[in-house]
Each structure stands twice: as structure tokens, then as C-alpha cells.
Amino acid sequence: MEGPASTATQAPPHSSGPRDGEAGTGRRRRAGMAAAGPALVGAAVAAVLAGPWLERRYGLAAFGAWRTLLVAIVMQGIPFLILGTVVSAAIGAFVPARVFAKVLPRNPVLAVPVAGAAGVVLPGCECASVPVAGSLMRRGVAPAAALTFLLAAPAVNPVVLVATAIAFPGRPEMVAARFGASLLTSVVMGWLWIRWGREEWLRPPAARAEQPPGAGRLDAFRRGMQHDFLQAGGFLVVGAMAAATFDVLVPPSVLEAFSGSPWLGVLVAAALAVLLSVCSEADAFVASSFTGFSPTARLAFMVVGPMVDLKLIALQAGAFGRAFAVRFCAATFVVAILCAVLVGGVLL
């Protein structure tokens, strides 16, 4: 009798071992991700500072162009990344969780369009939306609503719409088409997540460090901003490196060969939006320069870019996991193109 009883009493600790091991692995992975951000930023700074020496020593003219583009993309995104981390930290430190329960409908299907409309009030780019969406999830907002906000905020805010109007003077239909296609894409993606999204795909945003006893809200705000900025900054650098590499290696003549075909033009313009990683406040001016592309193709460039580009894919992978980023970005890319074609066919 003692033998079986002894075996039974030892079973629970043994069965909990794998769970403890998985939890430890998750903590180590998150710690590694947190350390990767400053390391990547340091590597980029070293590459930029060493650039002139490498150009003189080895005659790498292309490296000079790559370095210039890298700096331009990072400097374009940093102000809005700071804005996003400030908003994210402020939400975590000063906004009680019950506020979101009152503002958003309890039904996720209804909360999705409300979250999409809320994107109008935040003047930021995609670099800002990722940390804000992560903070919303930490505060108990449904993932579908937070992801809808993530997609809508950089595409339908007033700053982006005014920039689009300036880039396309006398073309108010282009502004309306961008607003409609972008909002439609974000809402559709939110509903698709409700229907087919799986919890195991989405890694919960990394919890911030425990506050020391007696720490006030300002200290919580400072710690939250430091955590989000260091984590997101490294992945912004990764995306900027990839975009600069593409711009240097691919000649313009390759793109011109596809601009004459309406359907190929849409696909190429959408792919360019992903690869060039232009900030949403500036992408309308880039789109207006694509004179060989159709209006719908240029619309696709402006709809896809703020939702799926290399730096945003890297930011999402760092915040929510690679499994999520691969699935969500691929689905968003397809839905954004379809919505751009649909709205462009009606308004343009």
C-alpha cells in the first residue's frame, strides 16, 4: 500500500515540471527580447559611425547610400515611436482599467468599429500604434479591438489625411478613398480575428517590471516608457535595415517594367509599401510621385504601408511574437489590397 501511495504523492510535482520549465523558458525569451533592443540600436549606431571609414577603406559607395537611408528611416520613425511609448506608458500608469470597460462595448463585434473610429484621434504613425496596442491589451481590452486600433490609428488620423490632401491637390476623392479603404481594412481584420484568431498565436505583451513598494504613478510612467521604447526601438532598426537594403539593391528599372499593368501595378505598389517602409505621414508624397502607376495602385500603396511594412512586421514580432506577426501581417496585406481595389474602383 505504501508503494502506490508514495508514487501518487510524487506525481503532481513531476507533472508540474514541464509547466514550470515552459514558464522559465518564456521568461528567458522575454528577457532576451528586452536585451535585444538596446543591442540592435547599438549595432546600428556602430554601423553608421563606421560608415565613412568603410567607404574610404574599401570603396563601398553603396554602403554610404545604405547608411543614409537607414538613418533617414529611423529618424523618420523615432519621433512617432516616442509618441507611442509616451501614450502607452500614460495608459498603463494613469488610466484605470475600468475606463476601457465603459468606453468600449462589451460585445467584441461592436467594439471593433468603435476602436477603428478611435484611431482618428491619435496623430501618430505605425511605430506609435504597436506599443499603444500592447498597452491596451495589458489593460484588458479585447485583442480584436486593440488590433483594429493598431491598424486604423496610423492610417486615418487627421495628420495623415491632411498630408494626403496636400500630396494630391484638387483630388479630394483620393483622401476619401484612403480614409474609407483604411478604416474598412482595420475593421475587417478585427472581425476576422474574432472569427478565426487563436489565443496561442498571440503572445501576450511582455509585462513590465514590478513596481517597488511606494512607487508613484510618475515612476510607473517612466519605467513603462523606458521598457516600451527599448523593446520597440531595436525592431524599428531591424525594419529600417531591411528597407534600406532593398532600396539600394533593386534598380528603378525593375519597378517600371510592372507599372503599366493595372493588376500588376497594384501588387507591385503594395509590395513597395511593405519594402520601402515609409512613415504614414510621408507616404502620400511618395505615392504621388508614382506617376506611372494607376490611381488605385497608388491608393494600395497608401493603404498597405501604414499596416504592413518591414519595420512594422519587426515591431509586431517583438511585441506579440513571430507566429502572430507572420499570420496577421499576411492576412492584413491581402485584405488591404482587396479593400483598396474595392474602394478605388468606386471612388477613383
pLDDT value of residue 332: 96
pLDDT-derived band at 331, boundaries 50, 70, 90? very high
pLDDT value of residue 15: 41
In a domain, 14, yes or no: no
Cell of 89: 506608458
In a domain, 15, yes or no: no
Backbone torsion region of residue 258, taken as left when φ is above 0, otherwise alpha when ψ lies between -120 and 50, otherwise beta: alpha
Q: Are 181 and 303 in contact (CB under 8 A)?
A: yes
Q: Are 189 and 103 in contact (CB under 8 A)?
A: no
- Domain span at 238: 29-347
Digit-coded pLDDT (tens) for 299-321: 999 999 989 988 889 888 888 98
Instruction: Give every CB contact of residue 246 below 8 A, 6+ residues apart in sequence.
Output: 275, 276, 310
Q: Are 326 and 278 in contact (CB under 8 A)?
A: no
In a domain, 23, yes or no: no
Using alpha carbons, select from 301, 232, 195 the residue that is nearest to residue 86: 232
* Number of domains into which the chain is organized: 1
In this prediction, residues 13-37 reach a mean pLDDT of: 46
3-state secondary structure of 150: helix
What does the alpha-carbon distance between residue 314 and residue 237 come to, in Å, rounded to a whole number? 9
In a domain, 326, yes or no: yes
* Percent share of the chain, pLDDT over 90: 24
In this prediction, residues 206-217 reach a mean pLDDT of: 55
In a domain, 3, yes or no: no
In a domain, 184, yes or no: yes
In a domain, 215, yes or no: yes
Using alpha carbons, select from 338, 263, 284, 321 the residue that is nearest to residue 143: 321
pLDDT-derived band at 180, boundaries 50, 70, 90? very high
Q: Which of 47-51, 130-134, 261-265 has the lowest mean pLDDT?
A: 47-51
Instruction: Give every CB contact of residue 281 below 8 A, 6+ residues apart in sequence.
Output: 80, 125, 159, 160, 163
pLDDT-derived band at 100, boundaries 50, 70, 90? low
What does the alpha-carbon distance between residue 204 and residue 202 come to, in Å, rounded to a whole number? 6
What does the alpha-carbon distance between residue 71 and residue 157 come to, in Å, rounded to a whole number? 25
pLDDT value of residue 123: 55
Q: How many residues does the structure list for the chain?
A: 348
In a domain, 7, yes or no: no
What is the DSSP code string of 290-308? -TTS-HHHHHHHHHHTTTS
pLDDT-derived band at 247, boundaries 50, 70, 90? confident
HSE-CB for 227 with a 13 A CA cutoff: 26
